[in-house]
Chains A and B, each alone.
Chain A
Amino acid sequence: MDKFKNSSFVKKVGFNRVVLFGVLILMYVVFAMLAPTFLQYSRILSALNYAYFLGFLAFGVTFVIATGGIDFSIGPVMFAAALISGQLLTQSKLPLVLCFLISILVGLVFGALNGYLVAYWGLPSFITSMASMQIAKGLGSVFTKTQSVSWPQSDAANGWYRYLVRVDVGSVGIPVGLIILIVAAVIFSTILTKTKVGRYICCLGSNKEATRLSGVDVKKYEMIAYIICGLCAGIAAIFYVGAYTTVQPGLGDTYNNEAIASCVMGGTSMSGGLASILGSFIGTMVIALIQEGILAMGFQKDYQYVITGIILLFAVYADIRSRRRKN
């Protein structure tokens, strides 16, 4: 066991990630045994649909958690972005690309708002993001007059965006979204580990005062983390409608917990400083697999909430325990 733990590959990837990947495989096997339909290719595509938007949410919130903060607004912000841009596309007939940019802009505005209030006004991120979650929910509803918004199907005009998620070659669906998500994971992982922004975000998350006393503009970098998170929520909106077409106002908060659970499972520490995009990626896959597995077994989605809640508790417990042992 120790030999395995100390091998250079495991060290590089992180023991936690290796274990989590094992859990992912194990879960796939278990679901396949419990629900015979689970092995169908369409199930995999369906699970991946769930993973695309959730993955972006998880990547974004990884940066915020790395600062030692939290963002509970990402799900509703994603919905607000999808509602506002969808309304502009279907009702105001704005060009599709412009609507995507507006979606991203909505995410950025919420991220900047959260970040400014947390970093410069010193508000607790918990409450701040709770408040902006409410604002995002309300704003989406107001904008669409509480109507749901349906984005165009792939064969309709402006429907090409659905190829971001899936392209059918003959009768086989190619999960394009997965390729995009992997590319995004590489980019965000590079930002987190190889650039100044990522370095300072992790340092201030580990010890803000020491980082400040080293002459780093901690407020600026803390705010940047929230902006990245908002950006990701805006992008996630595109992948949500790419997979599910219809967006209803007043929802989205369940995705907060799932994204946060993905991060913490992947070894991003709730107390800040330690973060892994790869971990968040695998965590996202675990959550997506659970949701699909539960559907395949014929249960309602409510069971998924229960399971995600329990997983989150366990992941946080494991995080705290591993830190306690270190001290």
Chain B
Amino acid sequence: MTMQGIDKSFPGVHALDHVNLELKKGEVHALMGENGAGKSTLMKVLTGIYIKDEGTITYEGKEAEFSNPKDAQEAGIVIVHQELNMMGHLTVAQNIFIGREIMKGKMIDDAQMNIEAKKLFDMLHIDIDPTEKMSKLTVGKQQMCEIAKAISHKAKVIVFDEPSAALTEEEIAQLFKIIRDLREKQLGIIYISHRMDEIKVITDRVTVMRDGGYVGTLVTKDCTKDDIINMMVGRVIYEEPKTKSMVKPGAPVVLKVDHLKAGKMVQDVSFELHRGEILGFSGLMGAGRTETARALFGADPKEAGEVYVNGEKVDIKSPIDAVKYGIGYLSEDRKRFGIVTAKSVAENTTLACLDDYMSGIFIDKKKENEISQKFVDDLSTKTPSVDQQVVNLSGGNQQKVVIAKWLCKNCDILIFDEPTRGIDVGAKSEIYHLMSELAASGKSIIMISSEMAEILRMSDRVVIMCEGKKTGEIGIEEATQEKIMQAATLRN
């Protein structure tokens, strides 16, 4: 199978720029790239979820056109998703044969499906009881059921989208055994992963993508980890990266987090934040950065660890406490966690500090409108009036309303989680400008970002996380894309 010159645009985004990918029979082919490099989009084109704008897919010697996922599936191209699509209440066999149940007259023949499922598992040397409820299985076992399902579809090409992310060492070993087995059977396998070590172990060739473009293809055993990292980050010159920390020497520590633990995604994270500092949090998807911020903010329960604000130990059990100690959190998901969409700009602005805008038991609407108007002017938020419903504003302006909410509360510690996600370029630089101003005025900022350019441009110091652990901390003076990526893929 080959994909040649695949091009795909979405409104405002050129997601794939003439990408090539070649997969041979009996090959395990790694597909790598940073977050947003276009790996998933490419796979969606391959499996018929997106329709390509340009380019050709040649499959088994013939040009193929998959206009929907069913076409691709029938042709034998199947994807095993990162998040499994399983029905927990049904048995393993019922899940595998969903949508094409074996029938006996008008009735579903569960017994026969169990037998067929067992045959599949035996072929793959997997030990799973087909009559077990799906929800009872571990994530690893569930994934193997997905693979069995793929095989039962007579798959010839299987795409694994970060299959190992949720697996234990043992399960990964078993997964690799199965993948090698499939390779023996002359299937083509595309393996998407961020884990450099795995790529070296299991794959034959590596294709690297960057910013929607094709970078190159290497034979795995002839290249080093560094070669791949270099290809992933490229030599792109980003806009004015920061070269030196803007934090005043001897600035006091305003926030200290000590051995924070909260579930699998936050394991023993410690860091310090100084006054006037922008502390970048870098890492790949699922590194546990957002989870760290949420646990710190009291949005999710934490298991262990201490938090100090201005040197004083504080017990943050809920966002109510966090806000009291002057911490504000701008979520990565504005729509869900940031704005109250059906309410006005003014109502959103004072949401965290309504107590300051009361006269007696009544809300002082005049005062509320005044302060909201002041923030609209200060942040140059584009809105016809402060009575406008936030849902009618653009992404960048919604973000400004959320920022106004925390400034209005006069928070000294601000957590910006992906502050520019889904925001256009112009608004982006305004937000950057604003963050720099805030830091200069003595506010301290934690900035979580998946964009390398953003991290290098804004941060005074960078903390890097990988799989729930802190794997690096670099001052901006020494920080390079390579070093950060190195730490972000460090698995221990």
The residues of A with any CB-CB pair to B shorter than 8 Å are 190, 194-196, 199-200, 202-203, 206-207, 209-217, 269, 273-274, 326-327
Question: With a CB–CB cut-off of 8 A, which chain B residues contact A269?
Answer: 342
The residue in chain B whose Cβ has the minimal distance to the Cβ of A215 is B323
6 additional contacts, CB 8 Å, given A210-B338, A214-B351?
A206-B342, A207-B342, A210-B337, A211-B351, A213-B329, A273-B343
Q: Which residue of B lies closest to A194 (CB)?
A: B362
- Which residues on A sit within 8 Å (CB–CB) of B336? 207, 209-210
Contact call A213/B337, Cβ cutoff below 8 A: yes
Contacts A199-B347, A202-B343 given: A215-B320 contact, CB under 8 Å? yes
Mark each residue of chain B from 94 to 132: 1 if its CB lies under 8 Å from any CB of chain A, else 0.
Answer: 000000000000000000000000000000000000000
B341 to chain A, nearest CB (A): 6
Q: Verify B341–A194 contact, CB threshold 8 A.
A: no
Q: Which residues of B contact A196 (CB under 8 A)?
A: 354-355, 358, 361, 363
Would you mind naming 19 contact pairs between A and B with Cβ atoms under 8 Å apart?
A195-B361, A195-B362, A196-B354, A196-B358, A196-B363, A199-B363, A203-B340, A203-B351, A207-B336, A207-B339, A207-B342, A210-B338, A210-B340, A215-B323, A215-B324, A215-B409, A269-B342, A273-B343, A327-B391
B322 at the interface (CB under 8 A from A): yes
Q: Do B352 and A214 touch across chains, with their CB atoms under 8 A apart?
A: yes
When chains A and B are docked, how far (Å) is the Cα of A211 from the Cα of B322? 14
Report the 4 A-B pairs with minimum CB-CB distance, sorted nearest first: A215-B323, A273-B342, A206-B342, A214-B352
Whose C-beta in chain B lies nearest to the C-beta of A200? Answer: B354
Cβ–Cβ < 8 Å partners of A202 in chain B: 343
User: A211 contacts which chain B residues (CB < 8 A)?
Assistant: 340, 351
Q: With a CB–CB cut-off of 8 A, which chain A residues contact B319?
A: 212-215
Q: Which residue of B lies closest to A196 (CB)?
A: B354
Give the residues in chain A near B323, CB-CB below 8 Å. 214-215
Residues in A neighbouring B290, C-beta threshold 8 A: none
A207-B363 in contact (CB<8A): no
Instruction: Using known A-B contacts A213-B331, A214-B319, A214-B405, determine if residue A206 contacts B362 with beta carbons closer than 8 Å.
Output: no
Is B137 an interface residue, CB under 8 A from the partner? no
Q: Report if A213-B340 is in contact (Cβ < 8 Å); known contacts: A195-B362, A199-B347.
A: no
Minimum Cβ distance to chain A for residue B93 (Å): 33
Q: How far is the CA of A38 from the CA of B374 in the complex (A)?
A: 56
Smallest Cβ-Cβ distance to A212: which chain B residue: B319
B375: interface (CB < 8 Å): no
Residues of B within 8 A of A209 (CB): 336-337
Complex Cα–Cα for A207 and B299 (A): 15
Smallest Cβ-Cβ distance to A274: which chain B residue: B342
Chain A positions within 8 Å of B409 at CB level:
215
Per the 8 Å Cβ criterion, residues 338-394 of B in contact with A are 338-343, 347, 351-352, 354-355, 358, 361-363, 365, 391
User: What separation, in Å, do the CA atoms of A304 and B456 have in the docked complex?
Assistant: 68
Q: Is B297 on the interface with A (CB-CB < 8 A)?
A: yes
Interface string of B141-165 (1 = CB under 8 A from A): 0000000000000000000000000
- Chain A residues near B351: list those with CB within 8 A: 203, 210-211, 214, 216
Residues of A within 8 A of B342 (CB): 206-207, 269, 273-274
The closest CB in chain B to the CB of A217 belongs to B320
Which A residues lie within 8 Å of B365 (CB)? 194
Nearest chain A CB to B458 CB, angstrom units: 23
A273 to B344, CA, bound (A): 11
Least CB distance, A156 to chain B, in whole angstroms: 40
Of B340, B347, B363, most buried by chain A (CB within 10 Å of CB) is B340
**In the complex, which residue of chain B has the Cβ closest to the Cβ of A11?**
B387
Known contacts: A196-B363, A216-B351. The answer to whether A273 contacts B299 by CB under 8 A is no
C-alpha gap A210/B398 in the complex (Å): 13
Chain B residue with the shortest CB-CB distance to A193: B363
Closest beta carbon of chain B to A306's beta carbon, Å: 33
Question: Please, how many angstroms separate the alpha-carbon atoms of A327 and B342 in the complex?
Answer: 11
- With contacts A195-B362, A196-B363 taken as known, whether A206 is within 8 angstroms of B343 at the C-beta atoms is yes
| Chain B residue with Cβ nearest A207 | B340
**Do A203 and B347 form a contact, CB below 8 Å, given A211-B340, A212-B319?**
yes
A277 to chain B, nearest CB (A): 16
Chain A residue nearest to B387 in the complex (CB): A11
A194→B347 contact, CB < 8 A: no
The winner among A199, A200, A203, A213 for most chain B CB atoms within 10 A is A213
| Chain A residues with CB below 8 A from B340, complex form | 203, 206-207, 210-211, 273
Contact status B391-A213, CB under 8 Å: no
User: B316: shortest Cβ distance to chain A, in Å?
Assistant: 11
A210-B340, A215-B319 are known contacts. Are A195 and B352 too (CB-CB below 8 A)? no
Q: For A212, what are the chain B residues with a Cβ–Cβ distance below 8 Å?
A: 299, 318-319
Q: A194, A203, A215, A217: which contacts B343 (Cβ < 8 A)?
A: A203
Smallest CB separation, A273 vs chain B (Å): 4
- Which residues from A are CB-within-8-Å of B361? 195-196
* Distance, CA A274 to CA B340, complexed state (A): 11
Minimal beta-carbon separation of B385 from chain A (angstroms): 12
Q: Mark B445-475, 1 if CB is under 8 A from A, else 0.
A: 0000000000000000000000000000000
Shortest Cβ distance from A319 into chain B, in angstroms?
A: 12
CA gap between A207 and B336 in the complex, in Å: 7
Nearest CB in chain A: distance from B345 CB, A: 13
- The answer to whether A215 touches B347 (Cβ under 8 A) is no
- B341 is contacted by which of A206, A214, A215, A216 (Cβ under 8 Å)? A206
- With a cutoff of 8 Å between Cβ atoms, the chain B residues found around residue A327 in the complex are 391
- A273 contacts which chain B residues (CB < 8 A)? 340, 342-343
A215 proximity list for chain B (CB < 8 A): 319-320, 322-324, 352, 409
Quote the shortest CB–CB distance from B322 to chain A (angstroms): 7
Kindly name the residue among A200, A210, A273 whose own CB sees the greatest number of chain B CB atoms within 10 A. A210
| With known contacts A195-B362, A203-B343, A206-B342, A213–B320 Cβ distance under 8 A | no
In the complex, what distance in Å separates the CA atom of A209 from the CA atom of B484?
33
Residue in A closest to B357 when the chains form the complex, CB atoms: A196
When distances are taken between beta carbons in the complex, the residues of chain A under 8 Å from B362 are: 190, 194-195
B322→A199 contact, CB < 8 A: no
Nearest to A198 among chain B residues (CB) is B363
Q: Point out the residues of chain A lying under 8 angstroms from B405, CB to CB.
A: 214
Let me know if A195 and B363 touch, CB within 8 A.
yes
Taken together as a complex, chains A and B put the C-alpha atoms of A46 and B50 apart, in Å, by 63
In angstroms, Cα B282 to Cα A81, docked, is 60
How far in angstroms is the closest Cβ of chain B from A11? 10
Least CB separation from A220: chain B residue: B320
B356 to chain A, nearest CB (A): 11
Cα–Cα, bound, A214→B347 (Å) = 12
Chain A residues with Cβ below 8 Å from B347 are 199, 203
A207 to B348, CA, bound (A): 11
Q: Give the residue among B299, B358, B361, B405 with the most A Cβ atoms within 10 A.
A: B361
Contacts of A199 in B (CB 8 A): 347, 354, 363
B198–chain A nearest beta-carbon distance, Å: 35
Which residues of B lie under 8 Å from residue A274 when comparing CB positions? 342
